[in-house]
Amino acid sequence: MAAADPPTAPKPWHARPARHRRPPTTHPSAAGQGHLRHDAQDRPDHRDQPRGRTRLRRRPPPGRARPPRDPHRARPRRARAADPQLRQEGHAVTTLPLDLADRASIDAAADRLTRECGHLDVLVNNAGTMPDFGTLSALDADTDQVRAAMEVSLLGTWALTQALLPLLTAAPVARIVNVSSLCAQQIAAGLDLGAPLRSPAHSMAKYTLNALTAVLGRALADTRILVNAVDPGNIATHPERGDDDNDRSAAESALDIVWAATLGPDGPTGGLFRHGRPVA
């Protein structure tokens, strides 16, 4: 029996004619009644896809909001947590503290790697913050949140890359992978999308990270270092925010990072990739 043709995939929301785009104010989050879960914010082409259910998180009642994160707390929390399991699986693992918002921490990490390793084959700049996943317009952006997002995704990543450049140059070949996000495409598309700009701080930070990637790719063109950005897709890393059943596992997304980290000598540089393919 011949299988029926698969249904044509719906166009991403920003590619649709304006009359087919969902007016932003129809979503309860736009009216301040709740906010979209983290990864729905992180995928501008996801909102108009047919969904089995819509997940919203209510804002906590006044007085029950979580305390703000302490930006100076010891890092890396999750890397440390994963450490014993990785050792058990036979990997040689060392974790070191690194706060990308703190120049002294970046320099200390670079000094330690220089002392202990001598060279660096791969730098994966994975850190990111999404301080404003409930914000739906650049006009409502809290510039302190923009600054915080830029501090980690752009400035900290830039400074760390500079600090580690001697180690990367000392390697026979080296790769830099900047973990980006589809969110940046909202801005890359010129904002003429007929929908609000979601997570403006996070989106702008990732957009500038993509620009940094292109600039570094050009600056390192005559070296054996390739630098690329990767959009890892929607990852089930935040069950507390209601990860979607369709989200990729972290292990699955990591394969795209590994692809960029193991590119051959003739591989691309300075680009943004998803599933190993360039994002226009």
77 binds ligand NAP (CB under 6 A): yes
The minimum distance between CB 1 and ligand NAP, in angstroms, equals 38
Inter-CA distances, 72 with 99, 100, 259, Å: 8, 10, 33
Do 149 and 202 form a contact (C-beta atoms < 8 A)?
yes
Q: Which residues share a beta bridge with 123?
A: 176
Q: What is the DSSP letter of 213?
A: H
Q: Mask of contacts with ligand NAP, 108-147, x by CB under 6 A?
A: ------------------xxxx------------------
97 binds ligand NAP (CB under 6 A): no
Give the total residue count for the chain. 280
- Rounded distance between C-alpha atoms, residue 102 and residue 159, angstroms: 10
Q: Mask of contacts with ligand NAP, 217-256, x by CB under 6 A?
A: ---------------x-xx-xx------------------
2-10, 23-31, 71-79, 116-124 -> range binding ligand NAP (CB under 6 A): 71-79
User: Which residue number places its CB atom closest to ligand NAP?
Assistant: 128
| Nearer Cβ to ligand NAP (49/169) | 49
Size of the site for ligand NAP (CB under 6 A): 22
Q: Mask of contacts with ligand NAP, 199-218, x by CB under 6 A?
A: --------------------
SS3 content of the chain, % helix, strand, coil (to 5): 40, 10, 50
Do 159 and 106 form a contact (C-beta atoms < 8 A)?
yes
- Rounded distance between C-alpha atoms, residue 45 and residue 63, angstroms: 35
The minimum distance between CB 49 and ligand NAP, in angstroms, equals 15
The backbone region for 169, taken as left when phi is positive above 0, alpha when psi lies in -120 to 50, beta otherwise, is alpha
Write down the H helix ranges in 50-189.
77-88, 103-116, 143-150, 157-170, 184-188
99 binds ligand NAP (CB under 6 A): yes
Which of 100, 146, 150, 184 is the binder for ligand NAP (CB under 6 A)? 100
20 binds ligand NAP (CB under 6 A): no
The minimum distance between CB 222 and ligand NAP, in angstroms, equals 28
Longest Cα pair distance anywhere in the chain, in angstroms? Answer: 66
- Collapsing DSSP to helix, strand or coil, 73 comes out as coil
Interface contacts to ligand NAP, rule CB under 6 A: 39, 42, 75-78, 98-101, 126-129, 152, 179, 181, 232, 234-235, 237-238
